[in-house]
Amino acid sequence: MNIGVYSPNWVGDAVMALKFIGRLRKQYADDKLIVIARDWVAAIFDNHPLINKVLPVPTKELAGVFNTIKTGRSFQKLNLDIFFVLPDSFRSAVIAWFSKSNTRIGFTGQMREPFLTDQMDLPKEAIHRSEKYIYLIQNDEHAQDFQHVGITLREQEIKWANEILQENNVQDPIGLLTGSVAKSRSVPIGKWIEIAKDKSADDNKFVIIGEKRDAGNAQKIIAQVGEDRVISFCGKHTLRESIALISRCRAVIAADSGLGHIAADLDIPTISLFGAGDPEKTRPLGDLTQVVTANVHCSPCGDNICGNTLEPMICLDSISSTQVWNTYSDLHN
């Protein structure tokens, strides 16, 4: 059979879907597994040993009703027997319907039901998002007989990252993953400066990894901490290249972001700074990851924009650099 998976649309969610991929492969061991993903998250699934094909979809091909229908019809050539739709959006269900796959499985809501053959209610209990995706697998006989396979880099990608660090005279750095799509999850610049200048930071070298939009803030951090301690790769590399660079870090300190999920999945010691987000639902998963939070009265609010007008961003401002470096010590002991 041909099994299709429509990936979540955000990097962190895509990483959290990798456990679903592993569980799905266990159930459909001999079938062809095709992951369909927006172009900005497809790199998460690249070179994954459990996936037969990754089909990136350019964002422009999903703009508007006509393009959405056209994209769905283009998937008819895949001859999908089963199509798992992981996003909760109306658009993703429409695309699945126009693919003419025999079975289309997804969650209810947003008037998606007519486009799905198998509709599942969202879990009522609070569970981690990775478990939410696994909820879609019916008759899961392999719940206990399952080994996670995460992001898989090629040897040449690792070699490239080592060469880039060597060219910049950096060895065994600590990564600062400062950016986040949601404003409420973006750690204030002053907090990053405080962390990097803390006495516990010693003489560690830092590399800031992120998108082009993070470059301005990265330069502000460098101006305060020093070019001899911090360099920025923001906006200079593809997501896949950024993944390779993260894999060469001794540890990372991350905002609540997709790159934080990547680091944790790579088994890099990862400290994630959480404020608005709920760690019980969206914390990065990994054997070497810990969440740091101030547990203030208004968090986790779950909002993308801080609504606390009297104490804006108190959830992240209240995290101390001492908390961060104590957690770093715990991860290295």
Tokens of 291: 């969440």
Q: Right CATH number for 155-331 from 2.40.30.10, 3.40.50.2000, 3.40.630.30, 1.10.10.60?
A: 3.40.50.2000
Q: Rounded to an integer, what distance in angstroms lies between the CA atom of residue 124 and that of residue 132? A: 10
Could you give the C-alpha distances from 152 to 15, 50, 172, 175, 265, in angstroms and in order?
12, 10, 20, 19, 10
Please tell me the pTM assigned to this model.
0.95
Q: Is the Cβ–Cβ distance between 267 and 286 less than 8 Å?
A: yes
Q: Rounded to an integer, what distance in angstroms lies between the CA atom of residue 122 and that of residue 115? A: 17
In this prediction, the residues of the chain whose per-residue pLDDT falls under 70 are 139-145, 333
What pLDDT, on a 0 to 100 scale, did the predictor assign at position 156? 98
What pLDDT, on a 0 to 100 scale, did the predictor assign at position 138? 75
Q: Is the Cβ–Cβ distance between 223 and 190 less than 8 Å?
A: no
Which residues share a beta bridge with 38?
A: 57
Q: Which element (helix H / strand E) includes 158?
A: helix 155-167
Q: Check residue 49 and report its DSSP letter.
A: T
Domain 2-134 belongs in CATH node 3.40.50.620: no
CA count, 13 A, side-chain hemisphere, 165: 26
State the distance between the two ends of the chain, measured CA to CA, in whole angstroms. 47
C-beta neighbour count of 24 within 10 angstroms:
25
Where does CATH 3.40.50.2000 sit in the chain? Answer: 2-134, 155-331
What pLDDT, on a 0 to 100 scale, did the predictor assign at position 140? 60
Question: What is the length of the chain?
Answer: 333
Backbone angles phi, psi at 3, to 5 degrees: -110, 120
What pLDDT, on a 0 to 100 scale, did the predictor assign at position 145? 65
**Omega before 300 within 30 of 0, i.e. cis:** yes
Q: Closest Cα to residue 99, out of 20, 9, 4, 167? A: 4
What pLDDT, on a 0 to 100 scale, did the predictor assign at position 280? 93
